[in-house]
Amino acid sequence: MEAPCPLCRTHFSKRSATKLVIDWDPNSPNGRAAHLSETEARRFYDAFGALTRDGITEPALRQLLEEVKAFLATQPPDRVRLSYAPPSSSKLTGHKFPDLRVLRRIGAYLYDTRSKIRDQKLNHDNELIHIREENDALQRQLAEMTTKRNDERELAVRTEENLRDYSQNLQGAYESMIR
């Protein structure tokens, strides 16, 4: 009878399976180093998980990225590089950290994008301040020109009224002279 695999849930025959026993001595130098690497990598994975869940400040993100970069630099290249092996090989077991490398790259991209957006926002804010100052100056200029135009219009109306009065007086004097 086939039983489901506890990991992948595919059915297999227990008779054809062989138990694999791995002797691992945590006190050996390689065992301690691998355990420390795995513990440190787990801390970084947890930090990236907290980053997506809770957010992070830019200085803290930069520090995390530097720590991950330093950690990955201490690891042998075959443990850090991505390989085109089955997906199960990219897990933390076997002391391979390509996912951590990808997370660091994503984090660096996030940091750079945040910085660019912040710089663009500062530039837009400065441009907005400049445009508002220019708008205020143009509004003052418009108000001055409107006042000047109204003054000139009033002067023209008064001048026209004076000329009409003068013209009527002259015409009245001329008519009285003719009669």
CA distance 157 to 133: 36
**Per residue in 26-83, pLDDT tens?**
555 455 556 567 888 888 888 888 887 888 888 888 898 899 888 888 887 766 655 5
Q: How buried is 129 (Cβ within 10 angstroms: 0-12 exposed, 13-18 middle, 19+ buried)? A: exposed
- Domain definitions of the chain by residue range: 29-120
CA distance 121 to 2: 62
**Phi, psi of 11, deg, nearest 5:** -80, 140
**Per residue in 115-160, pLDDT tens?**
999 999 999 999 999 999 999 999 999 999 999 999 999 999 999 9
pTM of the full structure: 0.48
Q: What is the mean predicted confidence (pLDDT) over 157-179? A: 92
Quote the tokens at residue 87: 């997906």
pLDDT for 155 equals 96
